[in-house]
A and B are shown apart, each in its own frame.
Chain A
Amino acid sequence: MITRLARARVFDPVNGARGETRDLFFEDGVMIAAPAGGVDRSYDLDGLVVMPGAIDIHSHIAGGKVNLARLLMSEDHRGAPVARGAATRAGGGVATPSSFVTGYRYAALGYTAAFEPAMVPSNARSAHLEMADLPIVDKGAYLMLGNDELLLRLIASGADQERINDYVAWMLHATAALGVKTVNPGGISAFKFNARGLAIDEPGPQHALTPRRIIQALARAVFELGVPHPLHTHCNNLGIPGNIDTTLATIAAAEGFPLHLTHAQFHSYGTEGDRRFSSAAARLAEAVNRSRNVSLDVGQIMFGQTVTASGDTMAQYRNRDLASPDKWIVMDIECDGGCGLVPFRYRDGNFVNALQWTIGLELFLLIEDPWRVFLTTDHPNGAPFTCYPHLIRLLMDRGFRNDCLKSIHPAAQQATTLGSIAREYTLEEIAITTRAAPARILGLAGHGHLGPGACADIAVYADEADRERMFAAPRQLFKNGVEIARAGDILATPDGATHVVRPEFDPAIEAEIGAFFDRHMSVGLGHFRLSEGELADAGLNLLAQPCRPRRRA
């Protein structure tokens, strides 16, 4: 079936469309050039704005940690139940939405993909089974490495990079992951030995290994394996005043290999001022502007109730006294990771929270290249993803931003340069940072653009002056050519794809991993590894993105 979207104002940065009015065509689920013959279905969009479906590169949407967050946040579910509909399941929650509701809400915001950024290796099966119940959007997961005992041993014992690459590749296959994430490299393991902090050049307690070496090994492995997405890095010392030094040292540690800094807002803190807490956004932005190998997602905070859900047990334990409501969970996991849940209420009248809000916005506005900065709230850690339309308005509307600035803690207003920043994101830049750039940095062929051959993942918006209203209620959403949502109503709930990578490796590594599992772990290698059959049985539709092995010249 051929569909025409007539008279669309198209924002498709990959194909150079900057709001020109034209017709778009797709056949079944794929974009095509204007066909010679007729079409089967036509929508006259009469100047409505059209963009590729949006892609969230960092959102905690599934896995044991997310489920524990749901359990802990019973108020969130009691307060915001969602009724079943003709085509939809019941559920609920705002900060910790149930799996089906997560899919519906993303679709209702014009999103067609979202990626779980912290899958613990031992939790992979459970995380994928859960994502099988997350409809509509494409999904995938980044595998948490860098605190897993076998990797630490390999690095500490001087294993050559090839073996480390083989190990990383084997783990990506075994867990059906799309990329590699490192969380407080070495720090989660150190916390299990009762260390309460770990600096980037501090030897860890078990193997005398520094976070710097772990970052180097993993960033290089990801590059050489040809995994499209750079090492997704949650730096050491999250949330600590002065951690900008760690963040800049992390960039240096990557030694020019591609590096993605995640929720950078939480890692951009200085120690200036009476309160010994200040914005270092300008310093990070400057570093990113001159380091072409570095990208980041912001992890913007918004004022209100949420829960922080993180693999970083060391940081979560440190923040336990800030829990609001006063309850928290910290869990050590299988000698390969951990998780911590701390409910949080960000307050505009709190100096630290207010400054966090300005720091995130400063990062968005001071980093020049929209292809290397990504719109996230680190859902739910900074705020639920449903805040994105509000965040987009803050970026696009300086008057609105400065009005909001007037309502935060006065000392934070004094401390920030935000009010003097004139930049406003354009619709084209929003299309880059939420669609084209995420697809490119994740290596999702056929996503994030609307050229012939691309997936017909299309969001249609009314061009309203109030950008929050505009992005909160797309007029239509198509996923693989199927009309999913219209004016906020969900019409259909097909399953999206699960994106994975399958890099090449020397299978000899498997004997080494198997011996380690047999001797020390609570599951055997054959059961740790997910099979394609079981994933298909669970209803997952795996889509492997190509990897091209690389060597640095």
Chain B
Amino acid sequence: MPGRAIACPFCGLVCDDLLLDEGRVDTRGCAKGAAGFARRPAIVEHRINGRAASLGEAAAAAAGLLGAARLPLVTGLAADVAGLRALVGLADRLGAVIDRWQSAAQQTNLSLLQRAGALAATFAEIANRADVVLLIGNDPTPSQPRFFERLLRNRGALYRQAPPYVAFLGPEAAMPGDAAVSERVPVNEDALLDALSALAALGEGRKLAASASLPLVALGELADRLATAHYGAVVWDIAAFPPAARAPALAILLRMMRRLARRTRCVGLPLGGEDNAQGAAQVMLWQAGWPGRLSFAGGVPQHDPWRNHAQRLLAAGEADALLWVAALSAAPAPECGVPTVALLAADAPAARAEVEIRVGIPGLDHGGAVMRADTVVALPLAPARPSGLPSVAAAARAILAHLLATP
């Protein structure tokens, strides 16, 4: 096999068997990874009010803009671990709010952990051990294209003798087509919470009255499968539930897994982890004690899932400056009326930002590390196509240095 193995930061699986050979990356058939590694720089110059500037000048302007704000917001956060370490430090010094941008699903999953806990397992445990797998809500493939290949269709599993029994519970439109799926139980989005309740109740041995909207026979069989599994795994996409159903769905799931665990093993794995979402949660946790929705405005870290929600703060006009960070993604800064500093990958279009700093893409322009969706494993990234673009960490440190130099 030609080339050297590299890791891919473009989804929460962080597969590390891609091959880099003379600048070309074989992504093992993954279109999402291929799109990521095909990103090419379009704009590499830093700008202040549209005019080209050096990194030092841009960082000084950014420090002035952010330092003058009453409540700056640091968001986007699509960065590697080094970038996030520097950004949380910057937010601390600024007295800013720091939160990922698309954080609703992750926040819901984390809230349950904070309130009740978890039964969990990492990828290698599921891939080597799970003999019954229940997928809930959504086909993992669009967000994690090699999910089935890496976790369920893997060869050489250590402990399971045969491929796992894989069932899907969720809307028709989101059904996985993957051949690994043995059973598909269609339930539309609005009935998903009821279906989960029924699954849990049937597992507890309760009798349910026949229902037109719920496939009780199939749910009863699923409950039996989980109860008789050696090692069951439940994988969910919480975003597939209507918003009001998400917290109760997770509570039911945890209760069900705990009941099953009294007699056999059962573990859970939430889907997610895009744009190093777990890296962001982990760095905020270790540096400040909270996984997101974090404010340093009072001089101490404060966590409030509602008040410190990045999208709400901006929409409500409570934040008066924005530091937007998108290196792993090319997401443009949100439309808003507040002064903006944007740390952008070089393939992102020109921003409506007072200060625009072009940064490298971790795993392409420079090395670094990102965390997988299962939280435990961080993987190193290679500079697959090295460039001189600064990293998010370097840009954030430059801004911080200017802040510290101007009392």
Contacts and interface: CB of A to CB of B under 8 A. Distances in A.
Interface of A: 62, 64, 66-68, 70-72, 74, 76-78, 81-84, 89-93, 96-100, 120, 122-123, 125-126, 129-130, 132-133, 149, 192-194, 206, 317, 323, 327-335, 341, 519-524, 526-527, 530-531, 534, 537-538
B286 A78 contact: no
Nearest to B264: A194
Contacts of B114: 71-72, 74
B369 interface: yes
Contact of B85 (A68, A133, A327, A534): A133
A520 B158 contact: yes
B5 interface: yes
Size bin of chain B's contact surface: 35 or more
Given A74-B114, A83-B299, A129-B378, A332 B230 contact: no
Nearest to A102: B286
A15 to B, nearest CB: 38
Contacts of B230: 193-194
B129 interface: yes
A524 B301 contact: no
Nearest to A65: B376
Contacts of A99: 286-287
A330 B120 contact: yes
B290 A332 contact: no
Interface in B1-57: 5, 7, 16-17
Contacts of B317: none
B376 A122 contact: yes
B382 to A, nearest CB: 9
B333 interface: no
13 contacts: A67-B282, A70-B289, A71-B285, A77-B301, A98-B289, A122-B122, A122-B124, A125-B378, A126-B378, A332-B122, A334-B124, A334-B377, A527-B379
A96 B291 CA distance: 14
B110 to A, nearest CB: 7
Interface of B: 5, 7, 16-17, 81-82, 85, 89, 92-93, 110, 113-125, 127-129, 150, 156-159, 230-231, 261, 264-265, 267, 282, 285-291, 296, 299-303, 367, 369, 371, 375-380
Contacts of A71: 110, 113-114, 285, 291
Contacts of B5: 524, 526-527
Contacts of B367: 534, 537
A522 B123 contact: yes
The DSSP consensus for interface residues of chain B is mixed
A526 B16 CA distance: 9
A341 to B, nearest CB: 7
A295 B82 CA distance: 39
Nearest to B254: A327
Contacts of A335: 124-125, 128-129, 158
B110 A527 contact: no
A70 B286 contact: yes
Nearest to B289: A77
A192 B268 CA distance: 14
B300 A149 contact: no
B158 to A, nearest CB: 5
Contact of B380 (A67, A125, A329): A125
A517 to B, nearest CB: 10
Contacts of A537: 82, 367
Nearest to B120: A331
Contact of A64 (B85, B264, B288, B375): B375
Nearest 10 interchain pairs by C-beta: A81-B300, A77-B289, A331-B120, A522-B124, A327-B117, A332-B121, A125-B378, A126-B378, A334-B124, A522-B123
Contacts of B117: 72, 323, 327-329, 341
Contacts of A527: 5, 7, 16, 379-380
Contacts of B302: 81
B120 A91 contact: no
A77 B377 contact: no
B231 A74 contact: no
B369 A534 contact: yes
B124 A133 contact: no
A192 B113 contact: no
Contacts of A90: 92, 288, 296, 299-301
A530 B123 CA distance: 20
A523 B92 contact: no
B125 A334 contact: yes
Nearest to A77: B289
Given A99-B286, A327-B116, A332-B267, A77 B303 contact: yes
A194 B89 CA distance: 43
A84 B91 CA distance: 11
Contact of A82 (B93, B265, B300): B300
Nearest to A78: B303
B301 A92 contact: yes
B16 A524 contact: yes
Contacts of B380: 125, 527, 530-531, 534
A74 B303 contact: yes
A89 B92 contact: yes
A334 B376 contact: yes
A304 B230 CA distance: 38
Nearest to B127: A522
B118 A329 contact: yes
Nearest to B375: A64
Given A125-B380, A332-B122, A537-B82, 14 more contacts: A68-B375, A72-B117, A89-B92, A92-B289, A122-B122, A125-B378, A126-B378, A133-B286, A192-B265, A327-B117, A329-B118, A332-B125, A520-B156, A521-B124
Contacts of B377: 122-123, 125-126, 334, 522-523
Contact of B301 (A91, A327, A522): A91
B369 A125 contact: yes
A171 to B, nearest CB: 16
Given A93-B289, A99-B286, A523 B16 contact: yes
Contacts of A519: 156
A192 B81 contact: no
Given A71-B113, A92-B288, A98-B286, A329 B379 contact: no
A63 B124 CA distance: 18
A535 to B, nearest CB: 10
Contacts of B123: 334, 522
Contact of A91 (B82, B128, B289): B289
A71 B303 CA distance: 11
Contacts of B121: 331-333
Contact of B92 (A66, A76, A84, A130): A84
B158 A67 contact: no
A521 B129 CA distance: 12
A333 B125 contact: yes
Nearest to A342: B117
A89 B16 contact: no
B376 A64 contact: yes
Contacts of A126: 282, 371, 376-378
Nearest to A99: B286
A71 to B, nearest CB: 6
B25 to A, nearest CB: 15
B274 to A, nearest CB: 18
Contacts of A68: 113, 375
B163 to A, nearest CB: 15
Given A84-B92, A331-B118, A333-B122, A133 B113 contact: no
Nearest to B118: A329
A324 to B, nearest CB: 13
Nearest to A66: B286
B127 A84 contact: no
A327 B254 CA distance: 11
A91 B287 contact: yes
B128 A520 contact: yes
Nearest to A326: B116
A47 to B, nearest CB: 39
A421 B213 CA distance: 71
A523 B265 CA distance: 24
A84 B286 contact: no
